[in-house]
A and B are shown apart, each in its own frame.
Chain A
Amino acid sequence: MDFLTLIQILDSAVRLATPLLLACLAGLFSERAGIFDIGLEGKMLAAAFLSAAVAAATGNVWLGMFAGIGVSIALALLHGVASITFRGDQLISGVAINFLAAGLTVVIGQSWFGLGGRTPSLMGAGRFANLEWPLAGVLKDIPVAGPLYAELISGHTLLVYVALAAVPLSWYVLFRTRFGLRLRAVGENPAAVDTAGISVTRQRYSAVVICGVLCGLAGAYLATGLAAGFVKDMTAGRGFVALAALIFAKWRPWHAMGATMLFGLLEAIGNRYQNIEVSGFVVPVQFMQALPYILTVVILAGFVGKAIPPRAGGEPYVKER
């Protein structure tokens, strides 16, 4: 494998890791506040659909992105109403949201565009353009560092950089601000937060909304950055992979980046080498497709040490008994 191939694979890994990273951070905020969210997948899917649909209709990717974020927040609030206000089962609510998104995107997509659940292909201003960094063209010919700069660092869409910037930002918000301290506290011991006179409900709703915004960005990136339009079930389990990455990262932002990059790299390798030959035995293409899912199980099986979730995760908070 030559250097340029390596750069291309890494480049593709960064692109493929971006939606995972955004979704993983989304899950991080929600779960740190004690709200388990199986519905990342559905929120991403709904956001992908609406952002592509609006971008196709208006030709403006920004409007698409905001529409995507909007629908993702709406679903996040639904999850909040079910799991915070009505103290329902968070797993069941998440599953319902996944099905809701899977069904509605096709039903509405067929009614709007009549393309069997797809949106029209996005062109021009309907997609996020790749940002060329300064001097990328000039520096390209320098050995090693040139392609590294021109291909790997420069030339991604804006949302890739947003996702990368979200990592230190999330760390700062969660671990260096009062808001973050309270958010983590409601995930560990909501009664203590309540005793201190801070509203658990409000804190958890804020976390859920942040989760919605990040899932919306992830979905918008899928449909308008990574691909050119929406296709049925295009998230393909990424929401669940992001959750596994979150456990792998033990609910920490920087580790989340590492974990999602690993998954992105695997997907990139799987995409590039459809048939790998290992000492005369050809690894079937189906195995490469299933690899991210298999790896998710392997990681969850705890080959990474003990992962301890936020203590109050998944439990509705009852103020008085």
Chain B
Amino acid sequence: MQKLPKWADVVLIPVINLLLAFLISGLVILAIGKDPVVAIKTMVQGSFGDTRAWGYTLYYATNFMFTGLAVAVAFHARMFNIGGEGQATLGGLGVALVALSIDWPHWALALPAAMIGGAVFGAAWAFIPAYLQAKRGSHVVITTIMFNYISASLLGYLLVNVLKEKGNMAAETPSFPPGASLPTFSEMLEPLGIAFNKNAPANVSFLIAVLACYLVWVLIWRTRLGFAIRAYGHSETAARYAGISPTKIIIVSMLISGALAGLMAINNVMGESERLILNSVEGAGFIGIAVALMGRSHPLGVFLASLLFGFLYQGGAELALWESIPRELVVVIQALVILFTGALDNMVRAPVEKLFLSFRRRAA
């Protein structure tokens, strides 16, 4: 007998987990002497109040969709890819190299090329930890974390010594050519007669991210490879018995994961800053972990959780601006979401299961 109806498993329990995380975050806000109600109002106003706010919220959500999908795909193969941060950093390098390579005539040509650049670089950065895990048994969690640090140093070196324009003091690449500039929401919605804030960074990458959600769903639940990935994630011995090669699954799932994380760069590097700067990922790779856990590794869940974290991230920026609560509050909320949805899941699940069983007994 199934202990829980499906809706309780996919909706009720995540919502309870989330409420617990928010409750404790509220206590943290209280503890540092601020008013949680004012904080929530500031966050909601700052992330949904007008089209500028929406533009930022959806911009961040786009980042988190890519990194969340990256973590989710790896989760299906029971791999914990904490390297989204480094893979997205390298993806930024790939996107920048493509965008600066020629004087692009139109963004519709530049975007697919940049996507390939970002995905290939992100996947390449995930390949080494994946290979070491598959062949040498080095724990992918520690190696991917190390690769995050290494990627920061590598990018620092390249920006300062190789990619920087002569005479520019800041460690950044030259600005991308105008033909590589992606249309923002304002430019996309104008022909439809909808006014959208011109300065908001949300751009066409959002649609690519939504498409990526759909394609990941197809991959995981509608293809042979997706089946192999899930089979390996559920039971390595069973997968091996069915003729699925663990080495292949580990490497392929990590390559897909790295490519998705690298794709994020079309949003933050190509869509927003239009040049490559240091630390352009801003922790989005780590938020992907919380997004994937919250979304139960399902693309639809990842989509919704990305919107939630887009709201939290943009709201957090507004809090820093108006209430002088540091942006790191978002890291605290992110940690609590990971803790409650990931590690303390049984704490909520067991009482809820008990409750449902007692209802059922009474009904019977």
Residues of A within 8 A of B (CB): 38, 78, 81-83, 86-93, 95-100, 102-104, 106-108, 110-111, 117, 237, 240, 243-244, 247, 284, 286-287, 289-290, 293-294, 296-297, 300-302
- The answer to whether A103 touches B331 (Cβ under 8 A) is yes
Indicate which residue in A107, A110, A244 contacts B332 across the interface (CB closer than 8 Å). A107
- The answer to whether B286 touches A99 (Cβ under 8 A) is yes
Q: With the chains together, A90 CA to B343 CA distance in Å? A: 7
B336 to chain A, nearest CB (A): 7
Q: With the chains together, A297 CA to B129 CA distance in Å? A: 9
- The answer to whether B136 touches A302 (Cβ under 8 A) is yes
**Can you show 13 pairs from A to B with CB atoms below 8 A apart?**
A86-B343, A88-B346, A92-B293, A93-B344, A99-B331, A104-B328, A106-B328, A240-B145, A240-B146, A244-B142, A247-B139, A290-B149, A300-B136
Residue B1, interface by CB 8 Å: no
Indicate which residue in B138, B286, B289, B345 contacts A301 across the interface (CB closer than 8 Å). B138
| Nearest 5 CB-CB pairings of A with B | A103-B331, A99-B335, A93-B343, A103-B332, A92-B342
Cβ < 8 Å to A, chain B residues 300-339: 325-326, 328-336, 338-339
Give the chain B neighbours of A82 by CB distance below 8 A: 339, 343-344
Q: With the chains together, A271 CA to B329 CA distance in Å? A: 33
Indicate which residue in A95, A107, A244, A297 contacts B147 across the interface (CB closer than 8 Å). A297
Give the chain B neighbours of A91 by CB distance below 8 A: 80, 141
- The answer to whether B142 touches A240 (Cβ under 8 A) is yes
19 extra A-B contacts, CB within 8 A, seeds A87-B346, A287-B153: A38-B142, A78-B339, A88-B342, A91-B80, A93-B339, A99-B331, A99-B335, A107-B328, A108-B31, A110-B32, A244-B142, A286-B157, A290-B149, A290-B154, A294-B146, A300-B132, A300-B142, A300-B146, A302-B138
Indicate which residue in B141, B161, B330, B339 contacts A96 across the interface (CB closer than 8 Å). B339
Q: With the chains together, A86 CA to B339 CA distance in Å? A: 12
Q: With the chains together, A93 CA to B326 CA distance in Å? A: 24
- The answer to whether B336 touches A100 (Cβ under 8 A) is yes
Main secondary structure of the interface of B (DSSP, over half): helix
Q: With the chains together, A90 CA to B336 CA distance in Å? A: 15
Nearest neighbor of B286 in chain A, beta-carbon distance: A99
- The answer to whether A294 touches B150 (Cβ under 8 A) is yes
B35 to chain A, nearest CB (A): 14
- The answer to whether A99 touches B334 (Cβ under 8 A) is yes
- The answer to whether B32 touches A111 (Cβ under 8 A) is yes
- The answer to whether A102 touches B344 (Cβ under 8 A) is no
Residue B109, interface by CB 8 Å: no
- The answer to whether A103 touches B329 (Cβ under 8 A) is yes
Give the chain B neighbours of A87 by CB distance below 8 A: 346
In this complex, how many residues of chain B approach chain A with their Cβ under 8 Å: the count is 49
- The answer to whether A301 touches B153 (Cβ under 8 A) is no
Q: With the chains together, A93 CA to B293 CA distance in Å? A: 12
Give the chain B neighbours of A93 by CB distance below 8 A: 339, 342-344
Nearest neighbor of B80 in chain A, beta-carbon distance: A91
Residue B191, interface by CB 8 Å: no
Most buried by B among A86, A92, A99, A247: A99
Q: Contacts A91-B80, A107-B325, A117-B328; is A97 near B335 (CB within 8 Å)?
A: yes
Residue B197, interface by CB 8 Å: no
Give the chain B neighbours of A240 by CB distance below 8 A: 142, 145-146
Give the chain A neighbours of B293 by CB distance below 8 A: 92
Most buried by A among B31, B154, B344, B345: B344
Residue B36, interface by CB 8 Å: no
Q: Contacts A240-B146, A302-B138; is A103 near B157 (CB within 8 Å)?
A: no
Nearest neighbor of A100 in chain B, beta-carbon distance: B335
Give the chain B neighbours of A98 by CB distance below 8 A: 335
- The answer to whether B326 touches A243 (Cβ under 8 A) is no
Indicate which residue in B150, B157, B328, B335 contacts A293 across the interface (CB closer than 8 Å). B150
Q: With the chains together, A104 CA to B329 CA distance in Å? A: 7
Most buried by B among A38, A110, A287, A300: A300
Residue B347, interface by CB 8 Å: yes
Cβ < 8 Å to A, chain B residues 122-159: 128-129, 132, 136-139, 141-143, 145-147, 149-150, 153-154, 156-157
Indicate which residue in A287, A300, A301 contacts B157 across the interface (CB closer than 8 Å). A287
Residue B28, interface by CB 8 Å: yes
Give the chain A neighbours of B346 by CB distance below 8 A: 86-88
Give the chain B neighbours of A83 by CB distance below 8 A: 343
Q: With the chains together, A308 CA to B147 CA distance in Å? A: 23
Q: With the chains together, A93 CA to B347 CA distance in Å? A: 13
Q: With the chains together, A19 CA to B142 CA distance in Å? A: 18
Nearest neighbor of A239 in chain B, beta-carbon distance: B145
- The answer to whether B154 touches A286 (Cβ under 8 A) is yes
Residue B110, interface by CB 8 Å: no
Indicate which residue in A103, A111, A247, A290 contacts B335 across the interface (CB closer than 8 Å). A103
Q: With the chains together, A289 CA to B155 CA distance in Å? A: 13
Q: With the chains together, A108 CA to B29 CA distance in Å? A: 10
Q: With the chains together, A180 CA to B18 CA distance in Å? A: 40
Residue B82, interface by CB 8 Å: yes
A277 to chain B, nearest CB (A): 16
- The answer to whether B28 touches A104 (Cβ under 8 A) is yes
Q: With the chains together, A244 CA to B139 CA distance in Å? A: 9
Q: Contacts A99-B338, A286-B156; is A107 near B343 (CB within 8 Å)?
A: no
Give the chain B neighbours of A78 by CB distance below 8 A: 339
Residue B33, interface by CB 8 Å: yes
Q: With the chains together, A286 CA to B286 CA distance in Å? A: 23
Q: Contacts A86-B347, A107-B326; is A289 near B153 (CB within 8 Å)?
A: yes
Give the chain A neighbours of B286 by CB distance below 8 A: 99
A209 to chain B, nearest CB (A): 18
Give the chain A neighbours of B160 by CB distance below 8 A: 286
Q: Contacts A104-B28, A106-B328, A117-B328; is A96 near B338 (CB within 8 Å)?
A: yes
Give the chain A neighbours of B339 by CB distance below 8 A: 78, 82, 93, 96-97, 100
B76 to chain A, nearest CB (A): 15
